[in-house]
Amino acid sequence: MKDTIIEAIRQPEYTGENRCEPCTALNLVIAGVVGSAIARKSKLGGTAAFGVSAGLIYLRGYLVPGTPTLTKQYLPRAVLRWFGKQPELEARDGLGSVPDETVSANNQSPKSTISESNKPVEEIDPHDFLLTEGIIEPCEARDDLCLTKDFSNQWDAEISTLSEKELDASEAVSILGVQVEGDGFEIEQYGEARTLVAGSQTIGKWPSQGALLADVGAAHVLDEWSDEWNDIGPAQKGEILNGLRLFLEHCPGSKGSVSMSQETVESCCSSHEVITVSCDDTGERLFEQRLSEI
């Protein structure tokens, strides 16, 4: 009978590996406050109340009904970070800013050396860049924007060439438009995602190997296609390449079809709507960004 009651109370979706630590901590605080209030009249009652509450939190993951939903919607980001949780899953991908210690020409780390162009970094609008450079244009058959035929053909050819070999960190670093020597860069894999790191610094991230393949291929084409490409900073290059993946018509390396969809991405403590582009045959994700940012 005891085991039956416990199993009826237990909620595996909110306990064990699925436990939301901020939710648990918040409910323990509530249990403590309630127990203290009762203890003013009866110490035994207060202790019993806290013990029962702690048991429910252990078995169910929370005490107050609806806590997971309430935590996702209303718990401040600073509180989530204090508990060691990111309040939102990062949807944007591509290149970030290169750390100063990584790009310094005169003070290099012993494992890697990078030298940048002396050209000034120009701030541009990615959409305007793609239009001005003749990379996208109004579609012929629908009210939308499409890749120009020449750019699309060159991009497909470059992806085809790259897919025949294994991409290493130096290929990913080449997107930055800088020269690198040494072995201080690595591509780390987390599930399908790929992350370019230098020591403890994250330089770039992609939702899949296909997305990385597409970005390297596009960067190679843009090196020859655009006179402005080398004047653009790494972070903005990442925005342009990230946006270009929205125009992919085939899955990189396989030629399978791709589809755009909207879905909800959830962690233990947050949820948000994202727009995704994925390969239909494999499910490999090529693009993911919050709906609010588009």
Nearest alpha-carbon partner for 281 in 251, 249, 246: 251
* pLDDT per position as a tens digit, 251-286: 998 879 999 888 776 655 556 678 889 999 988 999
Residue 9 banded pLDDT, cuts 50, 70, 90? low
Residue 3 banded pLDDT, cuts 50, 70, 90? low
Q: What is the mean pLDDT of residues 119-140?
A: 84
Inside any domain, residue 274? no
Same domain, 76 and 100: no
Inside any domain, residue 153? yes
Same domain, 247 and 218: yes
Same domain, 27 and 118: no
Same domain, 126 and 182: yes
pLDDT number for residue 19: 72
Same domain, 54 and 102: no
What is the pairing mode between strands 179-182 and 112-115?
A: antiparallel
Same domain, 73 and 101: no
Same domain, 126 and 26: no
CA distance 283 to 257: 10
Highest mean predicted confidence (pLDDT) among 33-47, 103-117, 166-180, 191-205: 33-47
* pLDDT per position as a tens digit, 21-64: 777 787 888 889 988 999 998 989 889 988 888 888 888 777 77
**Cβ contact 276:263 at 8 Å:** yes
Helix (H) or strand (E) holding 103: helix 100-103
State which residues form the domain around 212.
94-251
Same domain, 124 and 189: yes
Nearest alpha-carbon partner for 229 in 179, 180, 175, 181: 175
Q: What is the mean pLDDT of residues 121-144?
A: 87
pLDDT number for residue 150: 96
**Overall number of domains in the chain:** 2
Q: Given 251, 266, 289, which residue is the final one in a domain?
A: 251
Q: Is the model's pLDDT at 84 over the cut of 60?
A: no
Please report the DSSP string for 182-234 in residue order: ES-EEEEEETTEEEEEETTEEEEEESSHHHHHHHHHHHHHHHHH-SSGGGS-H
